[in-house]
Amino acid sequence: MNKPKVGIINVSGYTGVELARLLSQHPEVALTSVTGRSSAGKKLGEVFPHLADLALTIEPELGEVSFAFSAMPHKESAKEVIPLLSRGIKVVDLSADFRLKDAAEYPAWYGFTHPEPQLLSQAVYGLPELYRREIAAAQLVANPGCYPTGAILALAPAVKAGIIEPEIIIDSKSGASGAGRTLSLPTHFAEANEDASAYALDGHRHLAEITQELRLFRPQLPAAVTFVPHLIPMTRGILTTGYAHLASGRIASGSRGSGEVFQLYQDFYRDEPFVRVVAHPPHTKHTWGANTCFIHPTLDLRTGRLIVISAIDNLVKGAAGQAVQNMNLMLGLHEPTGLGAAAIYP
């Protein structure tokens, strides 16, 4: 039986090359085509020596494939994806171009008018833990952003169960690879090393995505989310801490309440292959290279506040690994296929 032919648009970024690494080890698909602009015409192994065994040349245009990943930047990705959809090709888009359901949000958060707003209702938000059935039936999946993945997985059980008030604070700390491979002063080694800084305090673009998804759980009581991201001096990983006051009368007081919250999270993620609810605060290093999200829910008994901590590798569960997870569902494959590797530690 012939394996599905898979292609990556823009293999030269961090997300694209991580996709290539994961797909090179996937037993059920064949990576046959990769594109790139500045590196077009070069052997993939010349640009990324660790992928030399793939024996692929980086082309300016995608070859004949039945499934495609677009790792293009925001605004640019839609231009690549739309023609593929008209040819019947299934696509996972790793940009934000199809994540938001309201086309009016794009000028405000991403600075462009969406070229095909009717596709936004067709695109499925690619968080398998919430939309597994819809993803399996989709032609177009919008892969979630890295920050939203950690934040939504951390807070979804509490929001859905109605145990917290709508005022939510999310604090996230990310490694420098989250900014992409394009050179920039804030991620220059001399600037980022031995430093930590908050940014986008007036509203990070991922806030629209986080709020959109959390509000779907309780539309009658919209979530009011404050989201503050931080850049810290490491390459990979996102550590997210979510805070919210408990709703009155929904959880027992004292240590019994802590146990109820932990059980709520265990039940919510009981059968999930890539989410682990853990008894101790996770470290980003626990996720390095793996498609795993670790979640630790607890209560601040002094203040009656829920505290939830999540840890992911921003390039795997936060991007390329989750994209492969979505591909598996869309192709009818076993969901964990090709994603079973444990984290690299230390």
Task: Give the pLDDT band of residue 53 (cuts 50, 70, 90).
Answer: very high
Whether residue 203 is predicted with pLDDT greater than 90 in this model: the reply is yes
By residue count, the chain amounts to 346
- Domain range annotation of the chain: 5-122, 147-316
The whole-number pLDDT of residue 237 equals: 98
Which of helix, strand or coil describes residue 223? coil
Residue 147 half-sphere exposure, CB side, CA atoms within 13 Å? 26
pLDDT tens digits, 319-334: 999 999 999 999 999 9
Q: What is the pLDDT of residue 335?
A: 98
pLDDT category, 38, cuts 50, 70, 90? confident
Q: How confident is the model at residue 225 (pLDDT cuts 50, 70, 90)?
A: very high
Q: HSE on the CB side for 229, CA within 13 Å?
A: 23
Total-model pTM: 0.97
> Which pLDDT belongs to residue 254?
86
Q: Does residue 18 carry a pLDDT above 90?
A: yes
Q: Where are the beta strands (DSSP E) in 132-237?
A: 140-142, 164-174, 197-198, 224-231
Q: What is the pLDDT of residues 70-123, one digit of tens each?
A: 999 999 999 999 999 999 999 999 999 999 999 999 999 999 999 999 999 999
Percent of the chain with pLDDT over 70: 100
Concatenate the DSSP letters of all residues of 109-140 into one string: HHSS--S-GGGGTTPEE--HHHHHHHHHT-SE
Tell me the three-class secondary structure of 19-60, residue by residue.
HHHHHHCCCCCEEEEEECCCCCCCEHHHHCHHHHHHCCEEEC
Q: What is the pLDDT of residue 253?
A: 86
Q: Mind listing the pLDDT tens digit for each residue in 234-251? A: 999 999 999 999 999 999
CA-based R_g, the chain, Å: 20
What residues act catalytically?
146
CA distance 162 to 183: 43
Residue 183 pLDDT class (50, 70, 90 cuts): confident
Q: If you average pLDDT over every residue of the chain, what do you get?
A: 96
pLDDT score, position 222: 79
Per the CB < 8 A criterion, the answer to whether 211 and 223 are in contact is: yes
The model's confidence at residue 3, banded by pLDDT at 50, 70 and 90, is: very high
The CA–CA distances, whole Å, from 221 to 102, 162, 216, 311 equal 19, 10, 10, 27
Instruction: Tell me the average pLDDT across 282-310.
Output: 97
Q: What is the pLDDT of residue 220?
A: 82
Predicted local distance difference test score (pLDDT) of residue 13: 96
The yes-or-no verdict on residue 221 having pLDDT over 80 is: no
Q: What is the dihedral of CA 225, 175, 124, 152, to 10 degrees?
A: -40
The pLDDT of residue 262 is above 80: yes
- Starting at the edge strand found earlier in the chain, the sheet holding 224-231 runs 197-198, 224-231, 164-174, 238-246, 305-312, 293-300, 275-277
User: What CATH number has the domain spanning 147-316?
Assistant: 3.30.360.10
Phi then psi for 102, rounded to 5 degrees? -100, 115
Give the type of residue at 188.
Answer: H
Q: What is the CATH number of domain 5-122?
A: 3.40.50.720
* Per-residue confidence (pLDDT) for residue 145, from 0 to 100: 98
CB 243 within 8 A of CB 261: no
Please say if the pLDDT value at position 211 is more than 90.
Answer: yes
Query: Can the peptide bond before residue 4 be classed as cis, meaning omega within 30 degrees of 0?
Result: no
Whether residue 140 is predicted with pLDDT greater than 90 in this model: the reply is: yes
